[in-house]
Amino acid sequence: MGLILGIDLNDDYSQISCFSREIMDAEAIGLSEDENSCLIPSAICRERASGKWRIGQDAYAFALQGDGTMVDKPIKMLSRGGIATIGGVRFTAEDLLTVFVEQLLRLPKERYHEEEVDQLVFTVQEKTVETAGGLTRVAERLGIPRNKVHVITHSEAFLFYVLSQKKEIWTNEVCLFDLGENGLHFYEMDFLRGRNPKQVRAIHEEMEERFSLDILDEESGCRMGDRILTSCAEKKLERKIISAVFLTGKGFERTDWAPDALRVICQKRRVFAGQNLFARGAAFLAFDSLQPTTAYPYVCLCEGRVAASVSLKVEYEGRERQLILVPAGSNWCEARASVELIPDDVRTLDFVVTPCMSPTPRHFLVSLDELPPRPNKATRIEVIVSFTSEEQMTVRVVDKGFGELFMGSDVVIRKDFQL
């Protein structure tokens, strides 16, 4: 049985978890057995003398000694298509991330004495076409086929982590404060009552209030950080029925700097502080992806998921039907559907988009007038629906001709719609 992994990639620190079938839980993995923290700095350094690659604290150490050239912030570099020149050699962001992820993967492979990866889920703060595609290609370069790779947002990882805990944890709302070098992020999760199938929602907000973690090294800075976090906690938690609050990120490796904020956060609530939440959530999803039946039979509404169902009006066996192409709650970068149709006195395709949060469907029409003129029922088309974000849908209509009677043309009708 191969490894089931979740990797949280950030521009400051990254983490990796492995799902254990023995204990049915996700285990955090550090660079060494005696390391207290599993936070691995997202830094890559190439030694000048040997050409050997180093990551994490080793990368900083070699760069500080002048023994190598270091590159950090790999996710930002990937999203911007950046290139770094090291020792006169140009490396793309995908090249460097391949090195970084390969060395991360060595950790579970060495611990569990297993080389095969059954499932790998990356989680990132913000999922874009560039990051999702780039990370999938990185995995392929490391011998992991794309059907074993998924890319999700932190909001999705938060959902799957919480839903994998005991039910009393998520009886009511669940909140999360994530404090790192990239700021203070707040998440809240709740179930939308009276919906069938059940819908679970996670809302993410980057707080305007922010501070550098360096100030926590000084007593005056700790007081300032405590005031800021207290203000945020009062604003986000008041008048809510909350089952649990989670604290994660580099800023919460220790919590003694925030006594006033903790008094607000801990009022009649369960509070958990620790690292690896997002990586563990990704590992839980990786395990679930291998199962014949999901343990999460919910429509998940959050960043990274399509918040509407997409269907197409068709006629089948003499009856008008709604052919569902993309169900609500789908991971947008994996939400792709195609269907072949024969138009029968139809010059327009009617796509019906039904938002989860609104009872009123929207109609998006795609004209077929660009197709070559042919007799009725003598054209076969392929309709392809895909997404470039949770809000941006692309429809392509490809002319496939009609057997030997009419050869397919090069005509492709493309329309983009903002959901």
The 10s digit of each residue's pLDDT in 268-315 is 899 999 889 999 999 999 999 999 999 999 999 999 999 999 999 998
For position 36, what pLDDT does the model report?
52
What are the tens digits of pLDDT across the range 202-224? 999 999 988 889 999 999 999 99
Q: What residue has token string 């999460």?
A: 296
For position 391, what pLDDT does the model report?
93
Percent of all residues in the chain with a pLDDT value above 70, rounded to a whole number = 99
* Mean pLDDT score of the chain: 93
* Domain ranges, ordered by start, for the chain: 3-152, 157-279, 308-418
DSSP 252: G
Closest CA to 392 of 303, 332, 312, 337: 332
Looking at the domain that runs over 157-279, which CATH code has it been given? 3.30.420.40
14, HSE (Cβ side, Cα atoms, 13 Å): 28
Domains 3-152 and 308-418 share a fold: no
What are the tens digits of pLDDT across the range 165-211? 999 999 999 999 999 988 999 999 999 988 888 999 999 999 998 88
β strands within 207-287, DSSP E: 242-248, 270-273
C-beta of residue 116 within 8 angstroms of C-beta of residue 97: no
Q: Is the pTM here over 0.85, yes or no? A: yes
β strands within 65-114, DSSP E: 68-72, 83-86, 89-92
For position 316, what pLDDT does the model report?
84
One-letter identity of residue 222: C
DSSP 114: -
- At residue 33, does pLDDT exceed 70? no
For position 403, what pLDDT does the model report?
77
For position 193, what pLDDT does the model report?
85
Structural domain 308-418, CATH architecture: Sandwich (2.60)
What distance in Å separates the CA atoms of residue 187 and residue 49, rounded to the nearest whole number?
45
What distance in Å separates the CA atoms of residue 313 and residue 323, rounded to the nearest whole number?
6
What distance in Å separates the CA atoms of residue 255 and residue 264, rounded to the nearest whole number?
13
Helix, coil or strand: residue 382: strand
Looking at the domain that runs over 3-152, which CATH code has it been given? 3.30.420.40
Q: Which burial class, exposed, middle or buried, applies to 47 when counting CB atoms under 10 A from its CB (0-12, 13-18, 19+)?
A: middle
For position 88, what pLDDT does the model report?
85
For position 317, what pLDDT does the model report?
80
pLDDT band with cut points at 50, 70 and 90 for residue 43: very high
What are the tens digits of pLDDT across the range 343-394? 999 999 999 999 998 878 999 999 999 999 999 999 999 999 999 999 999 9
One-letter identity of residue 326: V
For position 357, what pLDDT does the model report?
84
Buried b (16+ CB within 10 A) or exposed e, 318-345: eeeeebebbebbbbbbebebeeebebee
β strands within 264-380, DSSP E: 270-273, 299-301, 308-316, 319-326, 337-341, 348-355, 362-367
Pairing relationship of beta strands 392-399 and 381-387 according to DSSP bridges: antiparallel
DSSP 32-50: STT-S---EE-EEEEETTT
Q: How far is CA 3 from CA 116, 321, 360, 377, 381, in A?
A: 6, 43, 44, 50, 41
- List the structure tokens of 299: 């429509």
Across residues 81-103, what is the average pLDDT? 93
pLDDT band with cut points at 50, 70 and 90 for residue 408: confident
DSSP 166: -
What distance in Å separates the CA atoms of residue 53 and residue 45, rounded to the nearest whole number?
6
- At residue 16, does pLDDT exceed 70? yes
β strands within 95-154, DSSP E: 117-124, 149-153
Across residues 5-13, what is the average pLDDT? 96
Across residues 23-30, what is the average pLDDT? 92
DSSP 351: E
Percent of all residues in the chain with a pLDDT value above 90, rounded to a whole number = 82
